[in-house]
Amino acid sequence: MELDRRSFLRTATAGGALFAVGGALPASAAPGGFPDYRYVRTLLKPEQLKYNPTGEIIFPCVRGVYDRLSNRIGRYYLYYAPHDAPGGICLAYGDSLEGPFTEYPHNPIVANEWQPHYSVKHVSSPHVLWHREAREMWLYFHGDNNTTRLARSKDGIHFTYDKAVLTTSMMPAGTTETSYARVFRHHLPSRGARYVMVFMRNTTANHRDICWGWSPEGRNWTFDHEPLIDHAKVGAINVGGPHLLHKNGSTYVVYNSDKESGGNILITEVGNDFSRRDHLGVFYDSRSTAPENGRAAAPAFGTDRGVPYMIYEAGERLSGVIAMARG
């Protein structure tokens, strides 16, 4: 019924018949009672950036730092990266999730060579977590696709390398990629964990699933060898770009399907203990028009003065932009 209701709302609002007072959309029109996010504007385009080695950017992560960092250069830090070699973890900053965001002048803040720790073809997919106990910004990123790494920072700009936290060798035989990880504080008392990781796993079958793991402190991890989201169970060739959300006392994973499978952002309820697999369908329906052109991916979420926002990839993979939708 949720999906039917959402389709009805979308059709009715397109005809101008179901706007609430002031033209606002209903607050809970998406599955799980989440806001019905609508595209507002593009935040970053590769051609407008000084650091632009490959003409593409992916995987945004936005963090409010106004109440955490004393020497901040903006209220919000937006991390992103090119994917293709050499990649490079980049930063933009701004005072509102509506934008504008200003490119940090010394990007990349993490490069594909970091001696003596690693030298790889590329680094990409930044996800930054405010680590409460350490009072640091913890950056998870991949480089190459078979390794997820951790670096740590007191200011969100200058990072110290920590270690590799996930490799293909930690997953079942046949695993070829373990990347695009996001980490969240989430208590799992039965597993002695306070942090969970969701990430994309590829195999020799060349179908990508969402997997997960748990950790007491965010550095040392245990991983489930079974997919959290099996691509076939949601009718996709590949799924990726996972993000954890909480609503009404439960836990959900939102993630994107490949363009050939719809190019939409989907949602699955996993429950607070990750024992459920309730696939709820489309969380965000990508538009056929620019900048999405039939693909929305890798969502990140934030709230600015009580207004919910989704920051995400819009457009064909490796030729898109970073866009913003408002809930």
User: Which domain range does residue 82 map to?
Assistant: 38-326
128: domain CATH number? 2.115.10.20
pLDDT tens across the length of the chain (327 residues): 333 333 322 323 233 222 222 333 334 468 999 999 999 999 999 999 999 999 999 999 999 999 999 999 999 999 999 999 999 999 999 999 999 999 999 999 999 999 999 999 999 999 999 999 999 999 999 999 999 999 999 999 999 999 999 999 999 999 999 999 999 999 999 999 999 999 999 999 999 999 999 999 999 999 999 999 999 999 999 999 999 999 999 999 999 999 999 999 999 999 999 999 999 999 999 999 999 999 999 999 999 999 999 999 999 999 999 999 999
Q: Is residue 298 part of a domain?
A: yes
pTM (two decimals):
0.91
SS3 12: helix
Q: Is residue 13 part of a domain?
A: no
pLDDT confidence of residue 30: 87
Q: Is residue 8 part of a domain?
A: no
List, as own/partner pairs, every contact residues 197-201 make where C-beta atoms lie below 8 angstroms and the sequence separation is at least 24, other chains included. Answer: 197/140, 197/165, 197/166, 197/221, 197/223, 198/228, 198/242, 198/243, 198/244, 198/253, 198/255, 199/148, 199/166, 199/242, 200/239, 200/240, 200/241, 200/242, 201/171, 201/175, 201/177, 201/227
Q: Is residue 26 part of a domain?
A: no
- Name the domain count of the chain: 1
State the Cα–Cα distance between residues 257 and 288, nearest whole angstrom: 15
Q: Is residue 3 part of a domain?
A: no
pLDDT confidence of residue 5: 30
Q: Is residue 92 part of a domain?
A: yes
